[in-house]
Structure 1
């Protein structure tokens, strides 16, 4: 069974947050996630549990497939552009 790439999940969350123009703490509060836990999730140090993923999905209009698998179907263009910029920074 394939494992979820925690760093990639974190990168996609960073893209959603950055496209929203919010700080890490502000973003965490919009989806009722403890800010310190959210920071660890964004860094790929802690998994994004399904309940948290669902809240992000519902609040920010991205699919669970995007968050966990990186599938870009029906993801807002601003988030895709931000994700690409973040990926290019990591290279």
Structure 2
């Protein structure tokens, strides 16, 4: 894989969207879900795939469904998050 490729760019975009929605920097967001900032940074950069444990932590902390994080399906999101996702620019 070319180092400039971002195979998980869609997941990365959803992570960044939600982190910014929460008003947190990467360090605070990572701490909120119990991962190292360096690990989170790789996920948000799109160079590494969000782990299952990471996705489950997002679900427990903020209600972000696995369907949303991995596939972009927003039906299982809490209503306020679904509305914010659908109204983003």
Normalising by the smaller structure, the TM-score range is 0.7 to 0.9
SS at match of 1:28: helix
What is the Cα-based RMSD across aligned positions, in Å? 1.5
| Pairs within 5 Å for 1:10-29 | 10-29=12-31
Please give the TM-score of this superposition, normalised by the length of structure 2: 0.80
Equivalent position to 1:52, from 46, 51, 54 = 54
User: For 2:38 and 2:57, how far apart are their aligned partners in 1?
Assistant: 17
4+ aligned runs moved over 4 Å, structure 1:
none
| Stretches of structure 1 lacking an aligned partner (at least 5 in a row) | 86-91
Instruction: Tell me the residue number matched to 2:67.
Output: 65
Whichever of the two has the greater Rg, that structure is 2
User: For 1:16 and 1:59, how far apart are their aligned partners in 2?
Assistant: 12
Residue 60 of structure 1: how far off its partner (Å) = 1.0
More contact order relative to length (CA 8 Å, sep ≥ 6): 1
| Stretches of structure 2 lacking an aligned partner (at least 5 in a row) | 1-6
